Chains A and B, each alone.
Chain A
Amino acid sequence: MNLDAVTSPGRPWLTGMREAIPLLGGYVPVAISFGLIATQAGFTPWEAVVISTLVYAGASQFLFVGMVAAGAPLWLVVAMTLLINLRHVVYAPNLAPWLTPSRAWPWLMHGLTDQVFALAHARLPELPAAQRLGWFGGAALLAWASWVGGTALGALAGGELVARWALMGEILPFALPALFLVLVAPRFTSRRWALALSLTILVALALTILGFTNLAIPLAAACGALCFQVVKFGPARQEHAKGDRHE
């Protein structure tokens, strides 16, 4: 996939930041909501910012403050937080073939959210090896900073912001599905992939509508993977995951 942004050889981190800008449309409004909800749940703005900085995993943070506010046992709060984040275990290995030798990569994995993974999975294979670390650092840092900044904003002035720009809070998050659509569209390379990916999207959407947002990603992905393994369109058209992943 060709991208708008021309990769500048000297400043790949800047390219990474530029390409991560669409993520902000989704991150900032949600982070503002988190900051607001955390303070309403009894956390101070400072504590809300620390949670966003250290945990940095949207859905689990909402669950964390919600369960703490409801008086749940702390061991259960931690267990549920980690359970929701369990899907992250498959992200880094999928990027590993494109990661260059550097001790910085493990630390940068703190920034490997769902959205940053989706972006990096599409972009890293297209970048020269020398630019990947800088690109990922720039993209991940911008996303992280926007999440932490949005939390601070929400904790300090969330109520007023939501009241004043309610419509913006509804419109800007559409940048996320638009971005993911652009990232997933080039992967419809065959009938087999098209079926598996369409099923995944529909199952994820259906589970979200039914209120199972936290289960939606791993369950839908499992359905899609199973579909890809089971459904084949005859020997002549048989496609293999190994061949397709190079596209």
Chain B
Amino acid sequence: MSSALWIAVLASAVGTLLMRVLPLLWMQRRLERLGDDDGLEAMPQWLSLLGPVMIAAVFGVSLMPVTPGLLSWIATAIGVLATLAVWWVKRTLGWPVAAGVAAYGAVVMLTALVGPLP
């Protein structure tokens, strides 16, 4: 790798780190300035709104199967339903994820055994 390419890697790394760190420092100063009796109240409303919607957006993006196709979408739907069902009953983190992956995997493996749909 050339020196110029190393510099590009370092610039990307430092820039990415700064985008993660500088907003934290800004928010921490804001919290200090406003008094941290209730940190949540010191957070701008638009910012507290962005947290949940960013997670929802990441979820939406992650729903895209590795190999898109009718069967992988069916497997995704079944995996989502299995995850939701177990979450509804258990209200925990680990079991719903395990159930979702198991259901998704079962559909994918069954499909591989049976063969593709006509």
Contact = CB atoms under 8 A, between A and B. Distances in A.
A97 B39 contact: yes
A184 B52 contact: yes
A154 B107 CA distance: 26
A94 B47 contact: yes
Contacts of A205: 60-61, 63-64
A146 interface: no
A68 B5 contact: yes
Interface in A185-244: 185, 187, 193, 196-197, 200-205, 207-209, 213, 216-218, 220-221, 224-225, 228-229, 241-242
B68 to A, nearest CB: 8
Interface residues of B: mostly helix, strand, loop or mixed? helix
Interface in A141-188: 167, 169-185, 187
A181 B100 contact: yes
Nearest to B88: A185
Interface in B16-51: 16-17, 19-28, 31, 36, 39-43, 45-51
B60 A181 contact: no
A197 B28 CA distance: 27
Given A178-B83, A181-B84, A228-B53, A3 B43 contact: no
A110 B12 CA distance: 13
Contact of B93 (A1, A121, A217): A1
A7 interface: no
Contacts, number: 291
A82 B61 CA distance: 19
A143 B8 CA distance: 24
A5 B34 CA distance: 35
Contact of A26 (B41, B43, B62, B94): B62
Contacts of A178: 79-80, 83, 96-97, 99-101, 104
A193 B61 contact: no
Nearest to A214: B61
Interface residues of B, number: 77
A201 B79 CA distance: 16
Contact of A74 (B5, B59, B92): B5
B92 A2 contact: yes
Given A1-B93, A55-B12, A89-B19, A174 B25 contact: no
A184 B55 contact: yes
Interface in B54-81: 54-68, 72, 75-76, 79-80
B16 A55 contact: yes
Nearest to B100: A178
B57 A96 contact: no
B4 A114 contact: no
Interface of A: 1-5, 19, 22, 25-26, 29, 43-44, 47, 50-51, 54-57, 60, 64, 68, 74, 77-78, 81-82, 85-99, 105-106, 109-110, 112, 114-115, 117-118, 121-122, 167, 169-185, 187, 193, 196-197, 200-205, 207-209, 213, 216-218, 220-221, 224-225, 228-229, 241-242, 245-246
5 contacts: A1-B91, A85-B16, A184-B52, A184-B56, A204-B57
